[in-house]
Structure 1
Amino acid sequence: MSASASLPNEDLPQEPVAMAQVPATLTPAAHASLAAQTLSRIVFGLLALVAFVALAIAIALWQKVGNMQEQLARQSGDALAQSLEARTLARQAHETVRDTAARLALAETRVGEVALQRSQLEELMQSLSRSRDENLVVDIESAVRLALQQAEVTGNTEPLLAALKAGDQRIARAAQPRLAPLQRAMQRDADRIRSRANSDSSEGLRKLDDLMRSVDDLPTINAVAARSGGLNEWQADAVPADAPWWRRLLLTVRSEARSLVRVGRIDQPEAVLLAPEQTYFLRENLKLKLLNLRLALLSRQVDSARTELATVSATLNRYFDPASRRTQAAATLLQQLQAQVKSTEPLRIDDTVAALATAAAGR
C-alpha cells in the first residue's frame, strides 16, 4: 500500500493497473486487520444504536416517572385536602354527637318532668271531672225542678221541654258514660210529655174546629122561623089528601095563625130582642172566645181554658135555641172539652227525678 501511494500521478492510464494490483499485494494480516476494523465499526454502530435506544427509553421512562410523580403529588394533595375535610367533619360530628347527647339528656329530664306533671294533671282532671259532674247534675236538677214548677203553675209544657232538652245537650257535651242513664231518662220524659200534649191538643183542636164551623149555623132564640129546623108542632096535623075542602081550609087557616103568633115564656128578654146586626156580632164574639180557648189549649193553660169554656157554654145556653139539634151538638162538644180539660193529669217526670237522684248519689 505504501508503494501504491508513492506512484506518480501524472499518468492516469496507469491507475487501473495499480488498483488491480492492490488485492494481489494484500497480506492475510491486512485482511484480518480490515475485518477487525469492520467488525469494530459494526460493534460501535450497534453500541451507538443500543445507547441511543437506551437513551430514548430512559427519556421516555423519565417523562413517565415525572408524570407519575405529578399525578402522585396531585393525588397526595387531594388526599391531604380530603383528610383535612374528613378531620373537620369528624370534629363537627363529634361536637354534634356531644350536643345531641346533652340535648337527649335534657330531653329525658324534661320528659320525666312532663310525665310527672301529666300524672298530677290526670289526678287533678279526675277530681275536677267528678266535681264537674256533680255540679252538672245539680244544675240540671235545679233547672228541671224550676221548669216543672213553672209548667204546673202556668200549664205550659214548653219551659219544661226546653229544660229537658238543655240538660240533654249539656250531658252530650260532657261525654260522661256515668250520666248516660240520666240522659236516656230525660229523653223518655220529654217524648212522653210531647206525645201527650200532641194527642190532647189534636183531639181538642179538632172539636174546637167543629164548634167554630157550626157557629154560623147555630139558630138563635129570636129566630122563630128557623128554630127547630124540622117539622113544627102544627105540622103534625098535616092535611090529609082525602079530607073535605072545608077541613083542608080550616087546617090551613090554623097553620097560618100558628106561624104568625107564638105564645111562650121568656126567661131572657135580651136574647129575644137581639137585632140582626147584634146577632152577627154575637157570633163573631163567640168565635173570638173559641179562638182564646184554642190558644189556652195550645199553651196548656188549664185554668184559662176552663174559664173560656164556661163563658162559651153560658153564651150558647143564653142566646141560642136549646131545642135545636145543632145547638145540642155544640153543647155536647163543649161538655166533652170540659171533661177533657178536667181529666188533664199534672205533669210528671218520674224517670228524670229518679235518674237525678241516682246520679247525685254517685251510683
Structure 2
Amino acid sequence: MASARRATVIVTRPDGQSSALLALLTGAGFDTLEFPLIDIAPVADDAPLRAALDELYLPPDAAARYALVVFVSPNAIDHAFSRLGAPWPADLPVAVVGPGSVAALARQGVHAPSHRVISPSTEEADPRFDSEALYAAIEAHFGTNGLEGKRVLIVRGDGGREWLAERLIEAGAQVEKAAAYRRVLPEPSMQKWERIHELLAGEPHAWLLTSSEGVRNLAELAHEHLTADEIVRLKRAPIVCPHPRIAEAARGAGFDRITVSGAGDERIAHSLEALFPPATAAASAHAATSRDPEAHAQASASSSIHSSSAPTDANPATAPAHQTAQSRMTDSNDSKKASPQPNVTPPLPPNTPFTPYEQQKRRGGAGIVVLWFVVVILAVAAGAGAFVLNRKFDRADAQLSQRVAQSDEQNADLRAKADQAASATTALNTQIIQLQGKLADAEAHSQALQQQYQDLASNRDDWTVAEVEQILSSASQQLQLTGNVPLALFALQSADTRLAATTGPQVVAIRKAIAQDIDKLKATPTTDLTGLAIKLDTAIDQVDQLPLSGEAPIARARAQAAEPANSASIAAATGEPRWKVLWHQITNGIGQQLSSLVSVRRIDNADAMLASPDQGYFVRENVKLRLLSARLSLLSRSETTLKADLHAADAALARYFDASSKKVQAVRELVKQVDQASLAVAVPNLNASLAAVHQFKRGG
C-alpha cells in the first residue's frame, strides 16, 4: 500500500456496521468519514413480532407451525433474536440473503450443521446476494412446490421490497410478514457537515451508498444543508454502489459518476482503489493536467460519460469466493447489464463514372431544345390552370360572400338569442340570489328552532319541576287559607301524574314526598263545610220572615151559634136537661169572646216591645250580616270568628224575635247545628313536597 493517502471515502452505513470496511479502506490508504444516512431503531409496537416468534415453538407436527423463517438482513436477525425467550428450534429452517446474515446467525448460535441455514451460494464466480438469489436457493432446497400450503414468516424492517413475498405467494406459500426494526433519517453532526463542505470544496473523495433509501436520504439532506453549487459538485462526485438497483436509484437522483462494485467489503475496496490510483499516478496525472488542461478536460469528460453510461464491477476476478463482511442494509433487485456495442462505420457511396467534355457538350444542345419545349408546355399549362383557378376563385368568392351574409344573419339571430339568454340568466341569477337569501334565513330559523328545541329538551325536567312547584305552592296556600283538603289532594295527584313522565333519582324523591303528603291528606278528618254553609244560607233566607217579639199575632175569638141538633144530641147523650146544655154553650161563648179581648204574655226583654217597624228591619239585617260573617268564617276555617258570629246571631234571635214562633225555632236550630258541627280540625301542610322540589332546583 502507498504511504500517501489517496482520497476520503464517505461511508453511509448505519453506525457500528462498517468496522471491517473501515479497516480495509484505511489499510488501502484511504481516509474515511462515517456519515450514516440511515439509522436503525426498534419498532414502536413489537407485539406482532413477539406473537409470530412465539409460534416458532409449536410442536413439529402442528399444522400451524412455520415451515420456513426468512431474515432479510442482519439487523432483522439481531432485533428478532433479542426478543426470543428460548434457543432457536433446531428443526426449523432459516433463510438469509448473504454472508453477513449468515455471520449474524452464527453469533446467535444458529449455524450448520446443527441448523438448516439457506442462503445464496458463495462459490460462484460472480455471486449475487439479493432476493432473487435467495429465492433460487429456497426453491433449490424445498423444490418447486415444496412450500405450497405451508406458512412462511419473513422478518424484515418496516416497508421494504415485496418481490420475495410475492414469489413465495405465487409458489403457494402462506406468507406472513413481521417488522423487527424501522429505518429513520439521522441528523449528522455539525462537524461532519463541515467536513462535507471541505470535501465538496475540491478535496478528492467518493461516496459509498449501500441502499436506495440512503440515496433518497442523501438527496433530502443535501437540499437542507448544502448550497446550489455544492449540490452540483455532489452530483458529480464519484459514487460506489454494491448493487445495480442502488445505482439506478442514484442515477435517478442525478448522480452521474456511478460505479457498481458488487456485494462485499473487499469488492467495494477494490472498486475504490480502481477509482483512485496510487499517489504517484495521481501526481503524474496532475502534472499532465497542468501542461495540457484541454486534454485533461477532454479525458475527464470521457471518463465521466463512461462511468455514468456503463457501470461495471471493479476487478471482479480479484474478489474472493467467501465474503467476510456483508452490508447490513440489503436492497435486492434484479438488473441486467447491457454490453457496449462496437462502433460500425457506414459504407461510402460508389464513385460517379467519368464522362469526357466533348460528349458532355454534344449532349448539351439537345438538352436545351428539350428544356425550351418543356418550358413552353409548362407556360401553357400554367396559363390554363390560372384561368381555371380564376374561375374557381370567382365562384368561391361568390359562395363565400353568400355564406358570409348567411353567417351574418345567423350571428345576428344568435346575438339576439344570446341577449335574451343573458337577460334570462340575469333574472335567474337574481332569483337564485333571492332564493339563497331566503334559504339562509330559513337555515338561520331552523338553527334557532333547533337550538330552542334542544334547550326545551334539555330543560324538560326543569320545566316540569317548576310547574309542579307552582301547583304545590297554590295547593299549600289554599289549604292553609281555606282548609280545602279535597282541592289540595287533587293538586298533589295532578303533580304526581306530571312527574310520572320524568325519570331521575331526584324526581323519584319528589314523588315519594308527594305520596307521603297524599297519605296525610287522606287520613285527615273532613268537615262538611258545604252542608254547613247551606244551612247558614237557609237560615239567612228565613230571617226576613221571622216575627219579632212585638209583632206576635193575637188570635181573635169568633162567635159560634149553638145548633139545636147539637144541644139536643148532647142533652140526650148526657142525660141533662136541654136548657142546661144551652146555658153552658152560651156561657162558654161569652167567655171566649171576653178572653179574646185581653192577651197576657211574658216578655223578658222590654226593648223588643219598643222596636219600631223601621228598627225591626235593621234588626233583621244585623242578624243576616252575622250569619253571612259566620258563613265566611266557616269557609275560611276561622273557628273563633265563626263561634262569635253564631252566638251573636242566636242571641239576637232569642232577644228580638218571637221565641214561640216555629220559624224562629227552626232558624235557631240551624244555627245551633252549625255551631255544634264546626269542630276544630288540624289541617296538614305540604312542606315535605315543597322541600323536595326546592332540593331538586338546588341540584343537590
TM-score (norm 2): 0.26
Counting strand residues as a fraction of each chain, which structure ranks higher?
Answer: 2
Counting helix residues as a fraction of each chain, which structure ranks higher?
Answer: 1
Between the two structures, name the one with larger relative contact order (CA 8 Å, sep ≥ 6).
1
TM-score (norm 1): 0.45
Structure with max Cα Rg: 1
